[in-house]
């Protein structure tokens, strides 16, 4: 391959956004991906009238108007509002846990008393980490915190991460909230939310539709490739041949099923913290309100990441992995004209809007 001015490795949301921004700045770009499709983990495809998200549920949500406006150039949005249910004590209740969950699971007199205590201590429509409930000194709220921890968080965490909660970065456990309100939306705090009306893959295809962008699929990165500037969204430890050791990840396995009836579950995503070996079931026709007399479900099974066997999904963030990543980050700083970004390059779990925001900032830095 001849020398490339700008080589981008990875054709997911980060790589595609970057390719478009560079091309619009007058730069020629080659973007490669080892997979046979664009859009990375948000890749979707049409299966007999149902838009299926190949790598699990992806819902775009943000409060960042710059990011929203940028992506809106390449898609119209279906105004989907995401809701998640969890099977708790035999009841499908809203997740994150809120006042509706409380009243569905507890006897009326207990739920009324717990709601009263929550509102007295925290007020209405507040997001309270369960760790704060334990610090109130109120035995009822401590009981509620223990219940949510056990029923909603603990077993799910053991399946999702293969680790006990105390083996994971505390920031992960602190995300487990109680909402002192009745809004069942999962991303209630975000102003902009939706699914690309023709799917994520089509949105990314339109991003890449530019005369100065060349896309090469089924093309793994090779260090013999010549380039003037490299943007790498693959695994940073792999780039450096695991010099400091392998960064830990959790992987996922997806099992798809088609059922010959219109609906399987009550929402697009259902969490199964205490039952079965899967963590989630996704019913794909909900995302774009696809109409069909059949339905397609995917079950998510977390599993250990094994190089060459499955794919990296979630960085396992703790003190040990943070220390290891910092060594790779220092090594990266010694390279000229090489930039790492994205979930694997930055060794950070990104929501899609944060991944795009990272690209927009990087482009501004390069332009200085």
In this structure, the number of other CB atoms found within 10 A of the CB of residue 150 comes to 12
- Paired tokens of 335: 């390279």
- Give residue 256's pLDDT: 98
- Give residue 87's pLDDT: 98
CA distance 98 to 238: 42
- Paired tokens of 63: 């409060």
- Give residue 17's pLDDT: 98
In this structure, the number of other CB atoms found within 10 A of the CB of residue 161 comes to 16
DSSP, collapsed to helix, strand or coil, labels residue 98 as strand
Please give the biggest Cα pair distance in the chain. 73
Beta bridge partners of 255: 299
Per-residue pLDDT of the chain (368 residues; tens, 9 = 90+): 467 999 999 999 999 999 999 999 999 999 999 999 999 999 999 999 999 999 999 999 999 999 999 999 999 999 999 999 999 999 999 999 999 999 999 999 999 999 999 999 999 999 998 888 888 899 999 999 999 989 998 889 899 988 776 676 666 555 678 999 999 999 999 999 999 999 999 999 999 999 999 999 999 999 999 999 999 999 999 999 999 999 999 999 999 999 999 999 999 999 999 999 999 999 999 999 999 999 999 999 999 999 999 999 999 988 999 999 999 999 999 999 999 999 999 999 999 999 999 999 999 999 87
CA distance 184 to 84: 8
Domains (ranges, CATH) in the chain? 4-79+192-245+315-367 (3.40.50.720), 84-179 (no CATH)
CA distance 114 to 141: 7
Kindly give the pairing relationship between strand 60-62 and strand 91-95: unpaired
């Amino acid at each position: 391959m001849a020398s490339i001015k700008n080589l981008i490795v990875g054709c997911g949301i980060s790589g595609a956004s970057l390719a478009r921004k560079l091309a619009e700045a007058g730069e020629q770009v080659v973007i490669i991906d080892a997979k046979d499709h664009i859009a990375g983990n948000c890749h979707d495809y049409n299966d007999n009238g149902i838009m299926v998200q190949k790598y699990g549920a992806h819902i775009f949500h943000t409060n960042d108007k710059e990011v929203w406006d940028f992506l809106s150039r390449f898609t119209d949005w279906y105004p989907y509002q995401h809701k998640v249910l969890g099977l708790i004590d035999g009841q499908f209740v809203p997740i994150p846990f809120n006042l509706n969950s409380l009243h569905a699971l507890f006897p009326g007199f207990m739920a009324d008393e717990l709601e009263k205590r929550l509102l007295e201590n925290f007020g209405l429509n507040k997001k309270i980490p369960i760790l704060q409930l334990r610090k109130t000194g109120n035995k009822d709220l401590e009981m509620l915190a223990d219940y949510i921890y056990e029923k909603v968080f603990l077993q799910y965490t053991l399946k999702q991460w293969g680790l006990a909660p105390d083996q994971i970065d505390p920031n992960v456990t602190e995300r487990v909230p109680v909402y002192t309100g009745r809004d069942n939306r999962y991303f209630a705090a975000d102003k902009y939310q939706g699914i690309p009306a023709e799917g994520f893959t089509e949105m990314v295809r339109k991003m890449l539709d530019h005369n100065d962008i060349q896309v090469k699929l089924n093309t793994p990165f090779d260090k013999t490739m010549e380039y003037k500037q490299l943007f790498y969204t693959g695994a940073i430890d792999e780039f450096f041949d695991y010099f400091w050791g392998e960064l830990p990840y959790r992987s996922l396995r997806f099992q798809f099923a088609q059922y010959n009836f219109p609906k399987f579950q009550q929402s697009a995503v259902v969490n199964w913290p205490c039952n079965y070996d899967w963590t989630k079931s996704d019913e794909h026709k909900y995302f774009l309100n696809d109409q069909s007399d059949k339905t397609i479900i995917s079950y998510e099974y977390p599993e250990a990441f094994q190089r060459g066997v499955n794919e990296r999904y979630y960085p396992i963030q703790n003190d040990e992995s943070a220390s290891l990543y910092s060594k790779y980050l220092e090594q990266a700083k010694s390279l000229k004209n090489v930039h790492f970004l994205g979930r694997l390059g930055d060794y950070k779990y990104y929501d899609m809007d944060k991944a795009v925001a990272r690209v927009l900032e990087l482009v501004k830095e390069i332009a200085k």
